[in-house]
Amino acid sequence: MIVSLCEPGKCCPVVKIKENRVEIGEKGNLCILKKGEWNELVEKIKNGELPKIK
C-alpha cells in the first residue's frame, strides 16, 4: 500500500506499507519503521497520544 502525504501532482513524501516494514519519506530522506514500531505509532495516534500540530 502506498499513501501520498500531499495533494496530487505535487512532489511529496509517501508512506509505503510493506509486509515487514513501513517506509516514510522519499529517496535520500527516508525513515524505516519495523512492523511493531509502526503498529505502536498507529495505536498512539488512535488513542489520542499524538495530537495534530497546530
* Domain range enclosing 24: 2-46
In a domain, 33, yes or no: yes
Q: What is the pTM of this model?
A: 0.77
In a domain, 11, yes or no: yes
In a domain, 35, yes or no: yes
| pLDDT for the residue numbered 30 | 93
In a domain, 17, yes or no: yes
In a domain, 37, yes or no: yes
In a domain, 24, yes or no: yes
| pLDDT for the residue numbered 6 | 79
| pLDDT for the residue numbered 12 | 80
- The total number of structural domains in the chain stands at 1
Dump pLDDT digits (tens) for 2-54: 888 877 767 788 999 999 999 999 888 999 999 999 999 999 999 999 988 88
Which cell numbers in the block locate residue 19?
509486509
DSSP H/E element including 41: helix 35-46
| pLDDT for the residue numbered 26 | 85
